[in-house]
Amino acid sequence: MIYDGHCHVASTDFIPEAFIGDVVAGMSRRLAAASAGPAPQRLHDDYVAHHQDHHADRLVAEMDAAGVARAVLMVPDFSLVMPTKLGLAEMARRHHDIQRRHPGRFWVYLGADPRRGPEGADAFADLLDEYGFDGFKLYPPCGFSPSDRIVYPYYEVCRSRSLPVFVHTGPTAHSLTFTPAEALLIDQAARDFPDVTFVLGHGGVTDVEVTSYLAAYRPNIYLDTGGFAASPLPGGWPAHLNRLFRMGVNHKIIFGTDWPLNQLTGGLPRLLGEILEGDEVLAGVPRRDRDLILGGNLLRVLSPESASVAAPGPPPGTVR
């Protein structure tokens, strides 16, 4: 069974126009520098055209073609920093509709900007309970540290329900702030909430020297590979993933693509084909480890009661 631990619905209903503008501006600058790019407006129109999958039908078709049994849908909350088409409650309802439309295919991690305060935490908890969602998507580049005390009521909500917290780390849209997206900032929260699982979004791609030791030495910190195929990685992403999968933290790595980020380059079937049938990504990676990366770790994070089954021993070579 292969699970994708990091997807989004490719819909302009859920992505703010300002976010799209940032992404397109970045693509446009890169292409213009090589004098190879279409006009910015055409890039924008193409991007919008590729984000009309409002009910996730196309995503499910891609998952079927790629052999992905089930995926996590992320619902980041940008609404305090960018105008959004829908409010959080409406986005939650729409994602629940998608779950019912495609039974058994999606988990949902709901976002919430913690600056909504304790009332926001109550409203967030109500949405989690109403729809039975599976985790919390936190987006620090909106302007807060993941260890800021304002987030703690939200972690408490997750702790009491045994839900994982998925924390974006690393770069994002250029109008947001990157400083609070540094991976090490999770450390205090991870110490203060030892029974909450924290997944570092993109942690298998960005700042890996830091994220891999956090995963190795903090029992409740995991890494996500989201965005690997769209990141500027020396030697290409297959070589990068292979290095990552030989660092001794395979019990903490959750495979995720960050779809629809890669839909222009072949989407899920091409990525999964390269991973499973190519000769580079999984070279030298034991069968048991690949099963953990491609699904087992995600299931353990989603069902902590089974944690003892696959819990690793103490990290090798702990320095004193």
The site for Zn ion (CB under 5 A) is made up of 258
CA gap 146, 114 in Å, rounded: 9
Residue 170 CB partners (closer than 8 Å, separation 6+): 178, 181, 183, 201, 202, 203, 205, 206, 207
Q: How far is the CB of 271 from Zn ion (least distance, A)?
A: 15
Give the CB-nearest residue to Zn ion: 258
Kindly tell me which of 227 and 238 has the beta carbon lying closer to Zn ion: 227
Q: How far is the CB of 217 from Zn ion (least distance, A)?
A: 26
- State the maximum Cα–Cα separation within the chain, in Å, rounded to a whole number: 57
Q: How far is the CB of 312 from Zn ion (least distance, A)?
A: 27
The H-or-E segment that residue 310 falls in is helix 307-310
Residue 50 CB partners (closer than 8 Å, separation 6+): 10, 260, 263, 264
Q: How far is the CB of 71 from Zn ion (least distance, A)?
A: 12
Q: Residue 164: name the closest of 59, 236, 74 by CA.
A: 74
Residue 319 CB partners (closer than 8 Å, separation 6+): none
Q: How far is the CB of 261 from Zn ion (least distance, A)?
A: 7
Kindly tell me which of 173 and 216 has the beta carbon lying closer to Zn ion: 173
Q: Please name the amino acid found at residue 316.
A: P
Q: How far is the CB of 258 from Zn ion (least distance, A)?
A: 4
List, as one string, the DSSP characters of 109-163. EEE--GGGHHHHHHHHHHHHHHHT--EEEE-GGGT--TTSGGGHHHHHHHHHHT-
CA gap 7, 69 in Å, rounded: 13
Kindly tell me which of 114 and 226 has the beta carbon lying closer to Zn ion: 226
Kindly tell me which of 75 and 196 has the beta carbon lying closer to Zn ion: 75
Residue 189 CB partners (closer than 8 Å, separation 6+): 146, 147, 151, 152, 155, 198
Task: Scan for tokens 């988990």, then name that residue.
Answer: 107
Q: How far is the CB of 91 from Zn ion (least distance, A)?
A: 14
Kindly tell me which of 136 and 216 has the beta carbon lying closer to Zn ion: 136
Tokens of 43: 């890039």
Task: Scan for tokens 């069968």, then name that residue.
Answer: 287
Q: How far is the CB of 4 from Zn ion (least distance, A)?
A: 11
Q: How far is the CB of 192 from Zn ion (least distance, A)?
A: 25
Kindly tell me which of 113 and 258 has the beta carbon lying closer to Zn ion: 258
209 to 203, 216, 301: CA distances (angstroms): 10, 11, 23
Q: For the stretch 71-88, what's the b/e string if a residue is b when 16 or more beta carbons lie within 10 angstroms of its beta carbon?
A: bbbbbbbbbebbebeeeb
